[in-house]
Amino acid sequence: MAGGGRTINVLNVAEKPSVAKAVAAILSRNQGLRVRDGRSRYNKIFEFDYAIRGQPCHMLMTSVTGHLMELDFEDRYRKWHSCDPADLYQAPVRKIVPEDKMDIKRTLDEEARRCQWLVLWLDCDREGENIAFEVIEVCRAVNHHLVLRRARFSALIDREIHQAVQNLVDPNQWFADAVDARQEIDLRIGASFTRFQTMLLKDRFCIDSATDDRNLVLSYGPCQFPTLGFIVERYWEIQAHEPEEFWTINFTHRSDESIATFNWMRGHLFDYTCAVIIYEMCVQEPTATVTKVRQQEKLKYPPYPLSTIELEKRASRFFRMSSEQTMKVAEDLYQSGFISYPRTETDCFSVRTDLHAMVQEQQGHPVWGSYALRLLDPGTGLWRNPSGGGHDDKAHPPIHPTKFSSGESRWSQDHHRLYELVVRHFLACVSQPAVGAETTVEIDVAGELFSASGRVILARNYLDVYRFESWGGSVIPSYAVGQQFIPTTLTLDSGVTRPPPLLSEADLLSCMDKAGIGTDATMHDHIKKLLDRFYATKDANTRFSPTNLGEALVMGYDDMGYELWKPNLRSTMEYDMKEVSIGNKSKAEVLANCLQQMKACFLDARVNKVKLLEAMAIFFERSNADEHHAAGEIVRQCGNCLESNMVLRKNRDGNFMVGCMAFPQCRNAVWLPGSVSEAIVTSNICNSCNPGPVYLIQFKFRRHEIPPGFDVNHLGCIGGCDETLRQLIEICGTGSRNPAGGRGATTTSNNVRQSDTRQRACIYCQQTGHSSGDCPSQFSGSRNAHSHGTNLQSGESSIPCTSCGTPCVLRTANTANNRGRKFYSCQSQECNFFLWEDDINNGTRGRSIPRGSASNPGRRGGRGRGGQTGGRGADTTFVSATGDPLSGRRCYVCGDPSHFANACPNRGT
DNA sequence: GCAAGGTC
């Protein structure tokens, strides 16, 4: 770039009007800056003269508003019935400027024609780079000779902007490619699954949530579904929770000064007897000896500078504002100049930011003005340079006030609240942390350790301005090591574990942030979409529950074994995009790979659509239109409800069954041997079974799973006449599973969710249709799993363990909650099967309890996995707080010193 | 009538 020469026209394009204005003001130093309208009313054109490396330039500075183009399928694939949704994985796509962006395009067309250079001032992230190429495409189309240059800047600060324009670079194709790939994948997956599940389910079920079901769309998207997944997963976790009683010892001590509450350092025990024994020891020797007194200064730090997600989370927590409303109000405050750009990941201020000036602006405020004054007074020592949270999007600063206001007349309550939050948060960030003095005291009572702590606030500092947070103080008496005293109260108290709460909006945003679902600018959109699509609801406490529709969809895909509702898919895509953006992988390679996998997944989901239909049928009535869609091959008429047909189905785990189509109203089912690898309904009819016709099924068994003498191919009948099938069911068992706990059993709704009409299964063979009392497998001789290997005494009640086949013995519980209640427990050392006797009559098939949680016979797996469940902290291992076994003590049940009562094998007999 | 990402 040689200096001097003729003046050239330079078209500068920013991502949004505010950036165009700011850059123009900085570069022109407000000297000779002219403004005129373009074709779009929002996107003004600024004009000024400037020299780039000595080259005199007439600068035209304008903007777009985000993406200029949209990706969509070519016209002939746009109509929903125009093609098979599977075709959308290779249907041609194109980028076009949508109608509402045409006026911006016209401005660019007109201005680009008369310019020699195009300088791109888009945000310096991947999306910005992609928008840069959209602008290039539009401008180059009207002017092939344009010289293309990219300005790289990380903040709208004088030095940064001048430096950027003097050091122009090339646009980064890799960054733009990564976004192209993301757009295409999102479009193809979203459109194919949305069309598929909408067309599959909408007319088959009476979905009552929609007011007008002609417009009902059951959308699928790689961000909205994982977001729904978080809500459903937590909901299932709550459903699966079984309260457990626990016991804890509380100790208080009152002195002249105050009262101290000492917490048991074991936390709590689930074994009542163990707790009682320890409690009795404490009662017998109640003298407490102080073993430790620790005094510490504790600091409570102010929050990091405000990013979008934190703004949304805090507005939700402090004001119960929805993230959508927060962003709407923040946008308005930004547009009118009161706060900085509200979509930012950055949570640290640049060292060049003039923080003092920002604080000075606030000193006239009637409420927090005096705090601002104290901050500015070096004598108070209140000022502290803010620390950062380590995030920087290199495009925008943290959200902070940009203009003083003591409240505008047109502001709504939410405007007032949000502006106040932004200002107080900012003032807190540049303040000293609160200081407290904490005292922790540990005492020993009969070998048991207890602790208590107190806190005195020494300096509130930032808490004076950040009224949304508090830090409680509490006073306890003074203690000295070796001091002894007698408790004021010493009690054994019970409590129960509680399930975790439903996800709040702040929780949901955290989950999304952690899993990389959405961006700061779109997270609230995804949450809103779930509400708009009737997939979830939000209560007055900002907590989310899935609707029947949302739960059914997730359940359907879960039953298929797919994690389409989990965040992994998005994370993988994000990883691939990163690879494209740094040149490790090509766009074509990532697209081909991802789309091939997703198409296979789509085709597979379509084969297994019966899972979605079954899940929907749990919650919704079938509509008349469904008559034509049999979800399987008909085997016979149902002999139970006499209304519907029995059809052959394959489960997620690959096992076959024949079930009534009226499920869940009718739960008649015949489970087939677990060794079946293939099953096809034939047109052959059984000659002996009634009422007919009963169509024969061509089975293929896995060779290594059936005994010698049986053929791998078998033309069988499920009507009851088939001896071979009956024997194989006895030998190999069936593929049926214990229905997972925690879903569909407890919530009520006006939809069909039939927990109480569940047909009970026989505990021996797990078939429905008969009870355990008349199970045919009980009389069929030597192949019975439970007839061998027994060492039961005669007359002792037993059942076979449905987990491992070893006989279970009947025992009597001796815990506080269940004293006297009988239960079966498996005799095998390797198996943890457990079943309450009275549950047998409820159709429960028992459960296995994890090793090492001896006092926890009731926890059910459920669908909820991972994450914390409420309350269960300490296990019941009988060791002291230091980890040493309590010396000299023995199991109180059997006297054996090698273990304690909680691990005693004889406990409860 | 589908996605998610920009932004007004």
Write the pLDDT tens digit of every residue in A126-151: 999 999 999 999 999 999 999 999 99
Whether any strand B atom is under 7 angstroms from the Cβ of A62: the reply reads no
The bases of strand B with some atom under 7 A from any protein CB are 1-8
Q: What 3 state SS string does A808-872 have?
A: EEEEECCCCCCCCCEEEEECCCCCCEEEEHHHHCCCCCCEECCCCCCCCCCCCCCCCCCCCCCCC
A592 CA to B7 C1' in angstroms comes to 31
Q: Determine the Cα–Cα distance for residues A538 and A64; give it in Å rounded to an integer.
A: 35
Q: Determine the Cα–Cα distance for residues A290 and A295; give it in Å rounded to an integer.
A: 14
Between the CA of residue A801 and those of A639, A727, A825, what are the distances in Å?
30, 20, 8
End-to-end alpha carbon distance in chain A: 92
Q: Which residue has the higher pLDDT, A50 or A762?
A: A50
Whether any strand B atom is under 7 angstroms from the Cβ of A22: the reply reads no
Q: Are A566 and A601 in contact (CB under 8 A)?
A: no
* Residues of A 333-352 whose CB lies less than 7 Å from any atom of strand B: 335, 343
Between the CA of residue A163 and those of A53, A166, A207, what are the distances in Å?
11, 5, 59
Residue located via tokens 């899935």: A546
Q: Determine the Cα–Cα distance for residues A259 and A22; give it in Å rounded to an integer.
A: 61
In chain A, how long is the greatest CA-to-CA distance? 111
Q: Determine the Cα–Cα distance for residues A33 and A25; give it in Å rounded to an integer.
A: 7
Task: Please give the pLDDT value at position A874.
Answer: 27
pLDDT, tens digit (0-9, with 9 covering 90-100), for A465-475: 999 999 988 99
A524 CA to B1 C1' in angstroms comes to 22
* Nucleotide at minimal C1' distance from the A122 CA: B6
- Predicted TM-score (pTM) of the model is 0.70
Q: Determine the Cα–Cα distance for residues A670 and A563; give it in Å rounded to an integer.
A: 29
Q: Are A798 and A766 in contact (CB under 8 A)?
A: no
Whether any strand B atom is under 7 angstroms from the Cβ of A18: the reply reads yes
Q: Which residue has the higher pLDDT, A654 or A554?
A: A554
* Residues of A 65-84 whose CB lies less than 7 Å from any atom of strand B: 65-67, 70-73, 78-81
Six-digit token pair at A883?
């980890």
Residue A622, φ and ψ in degrees, nearest 5: -75, 145
In single-letter form, the type of residue at position A610 comes to V
Task: Please give the pLDDT value at position A894.
Answer: 56
Lowest mean pLDDT among A301-310, A349-358, A841-850: A841-850
Six-digit token pair at A77?
């694939």
Residue A290 has pLDDT above 50, yes or no: yes
Provide the 3-class DSSP secondary structure of residue A601: helix
Residue A162 has pLDDT above 50, yes or no: yes
Q: Output the CA torsion sign for A173, A174, A177, A178.
A: negative
Six-digit token pair at A577?
């995009």
Whether any strand B atom is under 7 angstroms from the Cβ of A529: the reply reads yes
Task: Please give the pLDDT value at position A642.
Answer: 64
Q: How confident is the model at residue A402 (pLDDT cuts 50, 70, 90)?
A: very high
* Residues of A 42-61 whose CB lies less than 7 Å from any atom of strand B: 42
Q: What percent of chain A has pLDDT over 70?
A: 76
A300 CA to B4 C1' in angstroms comes to 39
A814-832 average pLDDT score: 48
* Nucleotide at minimal C1' distance from the A79 CA: B1
Six-digit token pair at A909?
């007999």
* Residues of A 694-753 whose CB lies less than 7 Å from any atom of strand B: none
Strands (E), A446-562: 448-459, 484-485, 489-496, 503-504, 536-538, 543-546
Residue A279 has pLDDT above 90, yes or no: yes
Beta bridge pairs of residue A52:
A55
Q: Determine the Cα–Cα distance for residues A816 and A823; give it in Å rounded to an integer.
A: 15
Six-digit token pair at A792?
């039961």
* Residues of A 93-152 whose CB lies less than 7 Å from any atom of strand B: 100-101, 104, 123, 125, 127, 131
Q: Mark whether A341 is an active-site residue.
A: yes
DSSP character for A768?
A: B
- CB-count exposure of residue A170 (10 Å: 0-12, 13-18, 19+): exposed
Q: Are A573 and A221 in contact (CB under 8 A)?
A: no
Q: How confident is the model at residue A675 (pLDDT cuts 50, 70, 90)?
A: confident
Q: Determine the Cα–Cα distance for residues A447 and A434; give it in Å rounded to an integer.
A: 37
A758-777 average pLDDT score: 37
Whether any strand B atom is under 7 angstroms from the Cβ of A219: the reply reads yes
* Nucleotide at minimal C1' distance from the A395 CA: B6
Q: Are A18 and A126 in contact (CB under 8 A)?
A: no
Six-digit token pair at A131?
């928008």
Lowest mean pLDDT among A33-37, A624-628, A695-699: A624-628
Q: Determine the Cα–Cα distance for residues A164 and A162; give it in Å rounded to an integer.
A: 5
pLDDT, tens digit (0-9, with 9 covering 90-100), for A852-864: 222 332 222 334 3
DSSP characters over A634-697 = EEEE-TTTSSSEEEEEE-TTS-EEEEETTTTT---EEEPBTTEEEEEEEEEE-SS-SSS--EEE
Out of A89, A235, A341, A479, pick the active-site residue. Answer: A341
